[in-house]
Amino acid sequence: MIKTLAHICILSRDLDRTLEFYCGTLGLRRKFDFFKGEDLIGFYLEIDPGHFIEVFKGDTVPEPQGRRIMHFCLEVGDIDAVRERLVSRGTEVSEKKKGSDSSWQIWCKDPDGTDIEFHQYCPESSQITGTRCNVSW
């Protein structure tokens, strides 16, 4: 029934800063834009074919009860390289650690404070093995 995650939608206070972070720092691609009349109000960012982050300027759509999004997670192939790139671009990043699912993870925030988790799966990751995950938080 459900095939995969198509996109997540986040709100931005500053579209330029958001675009620079996701495209400049993280290397995503701008796929298309949203306009209201002649005003740019958002865009779609492509992670890979068929997987997107949809971004709207925060004052153009009603913010649902103050919630923007809890966090979203991006799978990466080399978590050390991702962390190094984020740090080199001035982004505050957590230290690399193994999560309770046995996957490597780091965390940062985008320019609007949205939490982003980066995962690098390992052979023992629950996402690979299906093994029960006991959380400690």
**Where would I find the H helices in the chain?**
15-19, 79-88, 126-129
Instruction: Tell me the one-letter amino acid at 37.
Output: G
Fold of 1-65: 2,3-Dihydroxybiphenyl 1,2-Dioxygenase; domain 1 (3.10.180)
Q: What is the mean pLDDT of residues 111-134?
A: 88
Predicted confidence (pLDDT) per residue in 26-43, tens digit: 999 999 999 988 989 999
Fold of 70-137: 2,3-Dihydroxybiphenyl 1,2-Dioxygenase; domain 1 (3.10.180)
C-alpha torsion sign, points 46, 119, 64, 3: positive
Note the pLDDT of residue 20: 97
Note the pLDDT of residue 67: 62
CB-neighbour burial class of residue 28 (10 A; exposed 0-12, middle 13-18, buried 19+): buried
Domain ranges across the chain: 1-65, 70-137
Q: What are phi and psi of 17, to 5 degrees?
A: -65, -40
Q: What is the mean pLDDT of residues 14-18?
A: 96
pTM: 0.77
Predicted confidence (pLDDT) per residue in 52-89, tens digit: 999 988 876 565 556 667 788 899 999 999 999 999 99
Confidence of residue 101 (pLDDT cuts 50, 70, 90): confident
Same fold, 1-65 and 70-137: yes
Strands 29-36 vs 51-57: parallel, antiparallel or unpaired: unpaired
